[in-house]
Amino acid sequence: MKLVLAFHGTRDPRGVAVCASIADRVRVLVDVPVVVAYADVLQPDVRSVVDGPCVVVPVFLAAGYHVRVDIPAQIGSRAGVVVTPPLGVDAVPAVLDRLREAGVRAGDVVVLGAAGSSDERALGDVRRAASLVGAVGVGYVATASPSVGDVVRGFAGFSGRRVVVASWLLAPGVFQGVLRSCGADVVAEPVGAHPLVVEALVRRYFAGRALVLRSA
């Protein structure tokens, strides 16, 4: 049963490369066709690739508009299609690993840097992720407040401790560039095609496939 990995979509080639890398790594772990689709910006969109029974896994870090409205609308009433919950907080272990790679150490002040959303439920997902990461606060790049720069400045020089930004972003690009220029002592890399993310997406697929088979 086909697996559709639904990404947001970006014109940044680095982001496109991350999407392709995630799909390639998922293909190694599932013996089914794996197709990349986009909710916005790029083609193919989700609508054009859902052509039979399949599992759609939204590769999003929060359940905002695209997850709650756009992707289901593109799928419509097609039978035999299951949309799983988004990646969401299952990306936290990968974020913690990115922090370790960046050299986080005991005593550092960790701030979660996220894209932002106008959907309060999506912001709730981000706050939950921040709690799981052990961040003292959340700063946003766009749409929501406070900005990541304001949060970092609020903790700068706090008892001589370093301020480290954990990136709650899927791929490098303009938003990651904002995190890098926010004034933090250390900025971790985005989630990317981390093995723990790939494993989480595969788990989403098999759970979704079980739902399809039970309803058949």
The reported pTM is 0.93
Q: How many other C-beta atoms can be found within 10 angstroms of the C-beta atom of residue 215?
A: 9
**What pLDDT, on a 0 to 100 scale, did the predictor assign at position 59?**
97
Distance CA 28, CA 203 (A): 14
- Looking at the structure, tell me whether residues 205 and 145 fall in a common domain: no
Whether 109 and 74 map to the same domain: the answer is no
Which structural domain range is residue 109 located in? 89-187
Asked if residue 206 and residue 160 are part of one domain, the reply reads: no
Same domain as 147, residue 61: no
d(CA 39, CA 41): 7
Please give the helix or strand (H or E) that residue 3 lies within, else none.
strand 2-7
What beta strand segments (E) does 8-43 contain?
34-38
Query: Tell me, what's the pLDDT at 213?
Result: 78
Q: What is the CATH number of the domain that holds 19?
A: 3.40.50.1400
The predicted pLDDT at position 118 comes to: 87
pLDDT of residue 84: 96
In this structure, the answer to whether residues 175 and 93 fall within a common structural domain is: yes
pLDDT at 216: 60
pLDDT value of position 115: 94
Task: Give average pLDDT by consecutive 10-residue segment, the chain, 216 residues.
Answer: 93 94 97 94 91 94 87 89 95 98 96 92 94 97 94 85 96 95 97 97 95 74
H/E stretch holding 98: helix 92-102
What local confidence, expressed as pLDDT, does residue 77 receive? 84
Q: In the chain, what is the straight-line distance between the N-terminal and C-terminal CA atoms, in Å?
A: 12
Does 58 lie in the same domain as 128?
no
Q: Who contacts 39 (Cβ-Cβ below 8 Å, separation ≥6)?
A: 6, 7, 8, 9, 45, 46, 58, 66, 70, 71, 74
Q: 170 and 199 share a domain?
A: no
CA distance linking residue 144 with residue 166, whole number of Å: 17
Q: How far apart are CA 63 and CA 176, in angstroms?
A: 20
Total number of domains constituting the chain: 2
The helix/strand/coil state of 37 is: strand
Q: Domain with 122 in it: what CATH number?
A: 3.40.50
Same domain, 123 and 113: yes
User: Using CB atoms within 10 A of its CB, is residue 166 exposed (0-12), middle (13-18) or buried (19+)?
Assistant: buried
Regarding whether 62 and 18 lie in a shared domain, the answer is yes
Neighbour tally for 186: CB within 10 Å: 16
96 and 178 fall within a common domain: yes
Same domain for 137 and 165, yes or no, is: yes
Round to whole Å and give the CA distance between 67 and 54. 17
Q: What is the pLDDT of residue 79?
A: 84
Residue 5: Cβ within 10 Å count: 24
Q: Phi and psi at residue 108, in whole multiples of 5°? A: -70, 145
